[in-house]
Amino acid sequence: MVLQAKDIRKSFGDNDILRGISLEVERGELISIIGPSGCGKSTFLRCLNFLEHPDAGDVRIEDVGLTSPRHWHRRDEAQAHRLRAHVGMVFQSFNLFPHRSVLENVMMAPVHVKKMDHEAARRIACELLKKVGLAAVKDRYPDRLSGGQKQRAAIARALAMRPSVMLYDEPTSALDPELSEEVLSVMRALDEEGMTQLVVTHDMRFARAASDRVLYLEEGKIVESGDPDVMFANPREARTRRFLRTLLS
């Protein structure tokens, strides 16, 4: 098992957003997380790497465990830092550095965080950019890229830190269908290489065709999880069925 989350809880004020989510992820799995807007999907992803501090719960990724502390101390922050080192995160809005070329965007974390030497970082970045199909535009600035290219650059940048797990928060929601496809095909290729990936997505076709497992979230809980073909063809829970039906109508 590469990732384990136990009973993750999170409230904002009086709103209980995550009401106890537990999840175990095997290495190489591709898991799609679906559910209505506002049900806590983004918050859950952010809690997995402590970008958001859960109010309660444990997260373990590889050999790094962290229990959400009642009071946050410097040693907890250090542990969160170790946890995040195993995680690559990709957002809907790309979040590339605008004043850096694509290549520099990908090299930046290895050079500044890992203190990798420039040449080594450059070699790795070039390899990754080739893998995501961006070798030809590596010297461009982000504003000269299409949305699909920006998102693939963001994936390469996350991969440059050699994460064990990739988390994607609606990676294709801002993209036209054909540009989405470029991004999804990179994710499929990573899956074939054995990368572990968790994807919050509204793309039900991708969720069904590419995932090993689908989680359906509603009101901060996992309502149903399982094999995508089973869940989409014949959901167990009435709430899942209702959600899938509203998407189709």
Ligand X SMILES: Nc1ncnc2c1ncn2[C@@H]1O[C@H](COP(=O)(O)OP(=O)(O)O)[C@@H](O)[C@H]1O
Q: Would you count residue 43 as binding ligand X (CB under 6 A)?
A: yes
Q: Would you count residue 180 as binding Mg ion (CB under 5 A)?
A: no
Out of 30, 31, 34, 39, the residue judged to bind ligand X by CB under 6 A: 39
Out of 31, 34, 42, 157, the residue judged to bind ligand X by CB under 6 A: 42
Q: Would you give the distance in Å from CA 129 to the centre of its chain?
A: 19
Return the residues of window 58-117 that contact Mg ion according to CB under 5 A.
none
Q: Would you count residue 87 as binding ligand X (CB under 6 A)?
A: no
DSSP letter string, 208-229: HHH-SEEEEEETTEEEEEE-HH
Burial call 143-164: b when 16+ CB within 10 Å, e when fewer: eebebbbbbbbbbbbbbbbebb
Q: Which CB atom, from 43 or from 149, has the smaller least distance to ligand X? A: 43
Cα separation, 149 vs 94, whole angstroms: 10
Site mask for Mg ion (CB under 5 A), range 30-59, x = bound? -----------xx-----------------
Give the shortest CB-19-to-ligand X separation in angstroms. 12
Q: Would you count residue 12 as binding ligand X (CB under 6 A)?
A: yes
What are the residues binding Mg ion (CB under 5 A)? 41-42
What are the residues binding ligand X (CB under 6 A)? 12, 17, 35, 37-43
